[in-house]
Amino acid sequence: MKEAVSKMIKIRTLGIVTSLIILIGYPCIRTFGQPLLIQNISKRAILSLNGKWNYIIDPYEMGYYDYRTKPYDENPKPQDRAFYTNTKPKDKTERIEYDFDKSPTLLVPRDWNSQEEKLLYYEGTIWYKKSFDYQKSGPGNRVFIHFGAVNYRADVYLNGKKLGFHKGGFTPFNFEITDLVREKDNFVIVKVTNTRSAEEVPTLNTDWWNYGGITRDVTIAETPAAFISDYFLQLKKGTDEILSGYVRLNGSAVSGREIEVAIPGIGFNKKIVTDNSGKASVEVAVQGLRLWSPQDPHLYDVKIISDRDSISDRIGFRTLATRGSDILVNGKPVFLRGISIHEENAIRGGRAYSREDAQMLLNWVKELGCNFVRLAHYPHNENMARLADEMGIMVWEENPVYWTIQWTNPETFKTAANQLKELISRDKNRASVIVWSMANETPVTPERIIFLKNLADTTRSIDNVRLVSAALEQKSTPGNELVRTIEDPFAQYVDLVSFNEYIGWYDGLPSKCAGIEWKIDYDKPVFISEFGADALGGLHGDSLTRWSEEYQQYMYRETLKMIGKIPNLRGCSPWILVDFRSPRRVLPGIQDGWNRKGLISETGNKKKAFYTLKEFYESVSKKY
Ligand code: GCB
């Protein structure tokens, strides 16, 4: 009896705790491995929250933690001093020590570093707040708040309630706000933290600026109750006329629903039916497709229609494969005339985010004679892949696994895999994207092989068509410094053997290139993902004067001769299109906080080596 009573008490207590948890929404919802990431968000956008947001700099996170460092949002009775409550004094006696509405503003989207001089080097927490009114357009509709990216961690609150948090500075996420959003005076508050940390991805050490803030668009999106949340359409591996993929519905009663996939341009129309999970697979022959290629970047209007929803996209279709050392696009061998880029608009200052920024960068890419870009070292904004689709530029997209991260930490793996999945989810319908890169210059250890292999397997389980790669490192062979090879066992798992090399910059003088011999024993295409040398735009000297444009040009000339001798070479993406900010680069009068390996200076001037590479690409394009 006594036991039964105590059991009952236990069950009751558990019940109360559970209801409390549900009531106050703790532990908060994470977006990790989010089941619902809305595809093609710009087609769902109803209201943009871009523009001015009030902000509070909070290096001690006093708006988040109480004085015992317990987060306020884990407290059943949050206190007025928690910034996300946006509390105002009720009368003159009340003491509230913050006020968003009297605080200054920052522009969203944009990093904070380039907007305020005092924030240039800031790493820490800043709170953002924006108010808005919202009128739903249909009574049963669902409403979401979508962020293109926030670097690095975002804790998001609407009208005083926590929606969840997201980690990873370069990928999109969304929260449903159907039941919270009201017609008047909504306030969204985001705590943004860009503090670097050892277990995160990227980790403590990088060679780029750690721009913080809400760096991409913020959108309120509205959908029908059951809506087309995702779709993936591409040509089936190994065929040029079987359309393969899926459409996914989200909401209630999503099973057994008919969905139509139409490509009006070729009179194609196919009806498919969802399974119990709301997913409808498609695998069907299509005739008369004009294939997407860099020479003819043809995109089709694709329409997806369910009984309660419809969405359209512009999608290109191409085949992609490797055969021995060749990369085949639509069955024809290509040479990747590439260049690496960081997501930065050096001229305006700060992270690139807009279509105009993408246009500026990709125009330069075209001018250089490229058909390929490596978007290093993390996922760039969606405009890049969309514009690359239109301009006929093939794209390498990269996960921010850079240098040395915590290979044995399961949380670190989860964070890396999550960012990769979010990137693939966003860009999987872009014909221009041909490479998913797992990592850059990571050390060769057994733990790291397991980590990267898991990432590669995850990638292939989502997309079995695009090429999997990673920027590896090359090494001297024992006993002969001049014979270079790839010893990294991860090369077995990639479709494209890519590596970075700096012979002539970190590794001897440019003249060293002439004596190098390459021994790369893989029957796979080889790609040089980086080579380069620093030059301060406008600094001239002879070809052995470091930092001069002449040195950089000499190094390019020698390197291009050297890599031309690699039989399997099928492309390169030298480092880098434009000078970029990096806190590692401190040499006064030369670097002043900039990595100077750009072919274009931070003021937009082309250096001599720009023309050297352009000439090389002109000659290559005659052969391919
Ligand atoms: C590298 C890195 C890149 C650096 C570059 C450099 O190997 O992959 O992120 O910026 O070298 O300039 O040293």
Q: Report which protein residue has its CA nearest ligand 1's atom 7.
A: 500
Q: Which atom of ligand 1 has the smallest separation from the CA of 471?
A: 8
Interval between CA 116 and ligand 1 midpoint (Å): 27
User: Read out DSSP for 91-139?
Assistant: STT------GGGS-EEEESS-STTT-GGGTT--SEEEEEEEE----SST
Residue 386 has pLDDT above 90, yes or no: yes
- Mutation pick for ligand 1 pocket among 207, 501, 585 (CB with most ligand atoms within 8 Å): 207
Q: Which atom of ligand 1 has the smallest separation from the CA of 440?
A: 8
* Residue-level pLDDT at 508: 98
Q: Which atom of ligand 1 has the smallest separation from the CA of 532?
A: 12
Helix axes 410-427, 446-462, angle to 10 degrees: 30
Interval between CA 502 and ligand 1 midpoint (Å): 9
Query: 236-248, pLDDT tens digit by residue?
Result: 999 999 999 999 9
* Residue-level pLDDT at 35: 66
- State mean pLDDT over 194-212: 98
| Three-class DSSP category at 621 | helix
- Mutation pick for ligand 1 pocket among 575, 579, 582, 599 (CB with most ligand atoms within 8 Å): 575
| CA 586 vs CA 8, 60, 119, 240, 545: distances in Å | 67, 28, 18, 51, 19
Residue 20 has pLDDT above 80, yes or no: no
User: Which of 73-87, 301-315, 371-385 has the lowest average pLDDT?
Assistant: 73-87
Query: 588-608, pLDDT tens digit by residue?
Result: 999 999 999 999 999 999 999
Chain centroid to Cα 427, Å, comes to: 9
523 contacts 494 by C-beta, under 8 angstroms = no
Interval between CA 207 and ligand 1 midpoint (Å): 6
Q: Report which protein residue has its CA nearest ligand 1's atom 9.
A: 207
Query: 450-465, pLDDT tens digit by residue?
Result: 999 999 999 999 999 9
pTM of this prediction exceeds 0.75: yes
Query: 417-449, pLDDT tens digit by residue?
Result: 999 999 999 999 999 999 999 999 999 999 999
- Paired tokens of 399: 């996960």
Q: Report which protein residue has its CA nearest ligand 1's atom 13.
A: 207
- State mean pLDDT over 318-330: 98
What residues pair up with 142 in beta bridges, in sequence order? 223
Interval between CA 38 and ligand 1 midpoint (Å): 34
What domains lie within the chain, and their CATH numbers? Answer: 41-223 (2.60.120.260), 239-317 (2.60.40.10), 322-328+335-621 (3.20.20.80)
Residue 7 has pLDDT above 90, yes or no: no
- State mean pLDDT over 222-249: 97
Instruction: Tell the residue number behind the tokens 């880029």, with chain if given.
Output: 341
Residue 96 CA to residue 169 CA, distance in Å, equals 32
Interval between CA 109 and ligand 1 midpoint (Å): 27
Residue 201 CA to residue 151 CA, distance in Å, equals 11
- Mutation pick for ligand 1 pocket among 403, 530, 577, 581 (CB with most ligand atoms within 8 Å): 530
What residues pair up with 523 in beta bridges, in sequence order? none
Q: Give the N- to C-terminal CA distance of the chain in Å, as an integer.
A: 86
* Residue-level pLDDT at 106: 98
Q: What residues flank ligand 1, with Cβ below 6 Å?
A: 207, 377, 440-441, 500, 530, 575, 595, 597
| CA 300 vs CA 94, 292, 305, 415: distances in Å | 61, 9, 16, 34
Residue 48 CA to residue 290 CA, distance in Å, equals 35
* Residue-level pLDDT at 623: 84
Confidence band of 91 (pLDDT split at 50, 70, 90): very high
Residue 69 CA to residue 63 CA, distance in Å, equals 11
Contacts of 286 (CB under 8 A, 6+ apart): 241, 242, 243, 263, 266, 268, 317
Confidence band of 27 (pLDDT split at 50, 70, 90): very low
Q: Which atom of ligand 1 has the smallest separation from the CA of 206?
A: 9
| CA 327 vs CA 100, 241, 336, 385, 574: distances in Å | 54, 19, 9, 20, 19
Residue 29 has pLDDT above 60, yes or no: no
Q: Which atom of ligand 1 has the smallest separation from the CA of 376?
A: 9
Query: 138-196, pLDDT tens digit by residue?
Result: 889 999 999 999 999 999 999 999 999 999 999 999 999 999 999 999 999 999 999 99
Q: Mean pLDDT score of the chain, rounded to an integer? A: 94
- Paired tokens of 457: 């397997």
Interval between CA 472 and ligand 1 midpoint (Å): 12
* Residue-level pLDDT at 46: 85
Residue 290 has pLDDT above 70, yes or no: yes
* Residue-level pLDDT at 624: 81
